[in-house]
Chains A and B, each alone.
Chain A
Amino acid sequence: MDCKKKVRNNMIMAVIYIILGLALIICACVVSSKVDTGYISSLGSCFTILGFAMLVKFIRIKRDPELMRKFEITLKDERNRMISDKAKVYTFAVYSVGAAIAVIICGVFYMKAEAIIIACNLCALVLLYIIFTVILHKKY
């Protein structure tokens, strides 16, 4: 993907985070008299702060050609890509094992609903893995 396009997409994402965060804060303020909304406003604050931080970072990158060049190198660097891919592989492996253990533990403690949710999640993940493996085998 073109670097400028990537910066633009990230800026759009930052604006979405800010809007989502502000919406959550407003929702929390509106219904605060009826229910406990502490966690909703906290989540909203996190989204807003994250959005602003991302926006400032990418505006700086967009305005400064030197920063843009460094960002492009970091983005396209093959070692960085390899590290990112490996991290995803490890995440998938650890999550799969962790979820399988969680299903067993939930089963032991008669937490049937939780066990089903985690098991469905794991099945969906494995199914997606199989689908993408087939697609990539056909592609390459």
Chain B
Amino acid sequence: MTRNRTLMIGASCVIFSVFLAVLSLIWTPYDPLEMNPELSLTGPSSMHWFGTDENGRDILSSIIVGSRATLMTGILAVIICMVIGVSVGIATSVAPKWVEMPAIFGIDIVLALPTVLFAIVLASVYGPSTLTAVFAIGIALSASVAQVTRREVVVVLMADYVMAARASGCGTWRIIRKHILPNIRASLLVQASGACAIAILAESTLSYLGLGTTPPAPSWGRMMASLQPYLLINPIFPLWPGLAIVITVLGFNLLGDGLRESLDPTLRQSEK
């Protein structure tokens, strides 16, 4: 796959999901919460393209609305992990040694903690909700963002222009703003895209386990769980929410890969 194609496919998938979320605010084929017991578990038809669930709700409408919870989790978790991760990453690389070592150690520990397990603990403490999930996922992801940021910042700090800036009297804050941030922007963008994919996957997993988005708000993960018992009636049901998750996650992953390749000139020659 050439880099442009990766970027294009990724971007189209992401745009498609965003389109669904925006569409859900204006129009859905049916009311996603309207129950209709006579129409319980009908297969795809001209009236209900994706079929109806156990309560006769239109699956297509639920999926369109479900994109909101998914994208919101992704975006909020990315904001949390980028703000914490980048601040910690930069702070630890300019901080004195005695702050740096414990901080690196702390990052290593959070990195090793299983994200979803951490989210499960939080959900058990504060009760399951989209926000708890977002918070847990965001914190857990911030460790890897901090690590990558550190790695990048340390390289930038050694550059001659930073030394020149320091020699000409620039303060640490100004160096961070004028020299460090612009230089690591590209890699942060790639990080954000990858983190978004992980966050969305984690949210759908938590919702599937009943620890994420709570009913009645439709969520792709929970739809999977509630439709799974009806596989025998029609195996096509769980296909839809699954496909929606795959398209969105694949989109953000490919977008990240594509961005990395197009923003990092050294990767262009050795295509790995």
Check if A and B associate: no
B interface with A by C-beta (< 8 Å)? none
A interface with B by C-beta (< 8 Å)? none
